[in-house]
Amino acid sequence: MVRTAITPELIKRAPKVLLHEHLDGGLRPQTVIDLSRDIKYDGLPTNDPDDLARWFIVDTPGSDLVRYLEGFAHTTAVMQTRDQLQRVAAESAIDLARDGVVYAEVRFAPELHMKSGLALDQVVRAVLDGFAQGTKEAQREGHDITVRAILSAMRQAMMSETIAELAVSFRDQGVCGFDIAGPEDGFPPTKHLRAFHLIQREDFHMTIHAGEDFGLPSIWEAVQFCNAERLGHGVRIVDDITHVDGHHLLGRLANFVRDRRIPLEVCPTSNVHTGAAASIATHPIDLLRRLRFRVTLNTDNRLMSGITLSSEFETCANAFGWDLEDMEWLTLNAAKSAFYPFDERLAMINTVIKPGYATLRSSEAK
């Protein structure tokens, strides 16, 4: 089979699916400045949008997840009212659509947006209304996108069961799943078993941040105690893979994750910025892809990493020699792993993703 090399222009045109994106990590720098001015928030390090964009990017060698999370104090500060949340959500949908994303699951923690008096359900409603507004504006520009929400509970807090109930209550209104986020070390997923069991009893969906800044025990608890359907990041599964005499040997947990086709929501640039990987060149995503784990490529936080999903594909293509067929495989992995009803998922694959890549191959062959 003739394989197709990819260029930045080809990547931008390709239909893409995004499963791991934080709403408060994807703001436009100018929006942060505008909203800060509106509420007289004086905590920003600069009011120049270019300088602010550079400030948010945590790419200092030795950075870790705690340093990476510092920027969120500024973004959440300007996401406390209905209008603020709706604007941020609408712009998120538009920006993703302009980048060629046809389906996205964007997560946020409602408990972080109550400082101005909003109730939890009001926070969720504002974000969902923003996604709807942004989707319509994107369609007017000629970009079709579906954006759904995942509600995250902060693992260092004690609201996970309440957030799980909230997610279920909005399940038919645009919320597609539940998650826990925040520092892994010291806050294992088993502290939130009641929330995960509630999600299971309600036949709903869950993904768990695990295997980012903590190792195999976090992944093991997430899949064996909490029955995670997907793993947020999950890159530390590589710690259960050894290289012996030219062969890769999988340990029991790695075998289990691969055998069960548990999707890995991998975010390479973010992993480098948080210290979960030393560099893109040494990031385990390509090894995991070659070993046929259910790998998906994601952004995590576009603002904090200074990326788009297109640029992330380009970065990995340059590092690992990926071509259009690899990009399609990763995109189909994401589509198959989405918290999206089966019929809609299948329609997206058969009428949008596969035809989109076929068209790109055809155009390159001429």
Q: Which are the catalytic amino acids?
A: 212
Residue 150 contacts residue 178 (beta carbons within 8 Å):
yes
Residue 283 backbone zone (phi > 0: left; psi -120 to 50: alpha; other: beta): beta
CA 206 to chain centre: 13
| Distance (Å, whole) CA 46 – CA 54 | 10
Residue 314 contacts residue 8 (beta carbons within 8 Å):
yes
Residue 294 contacts residue 329 (beta carbons within 8 Å):
no
| Distance (Å, whole) CA 312 – CA 3 | 20
Residue 144 contacts residue 92 (beta carbons within 8 Å):
no
CA distances from 129 to 100, 103, 162, 179, 259 (A): 21, 17, 22, 21, 39
CA distances from 267 to 48, 181, 196, 225 (A): 28, 14, 24, 24
Residue 257: which residues within 8 A CB-CB, separation 6 or more?
A: 219, 223, 231, 234, 237, 264, 293
CA-only gyration radius of the chain, Å: 20
Report the run of H or E that residue 51 belongs to, with start and end. Answer: helix 49-56
- Give the pair of three-digit tokens for residue 233: 């990041």
Question: Any idea what DSSP says for residue 16?
Answer: E
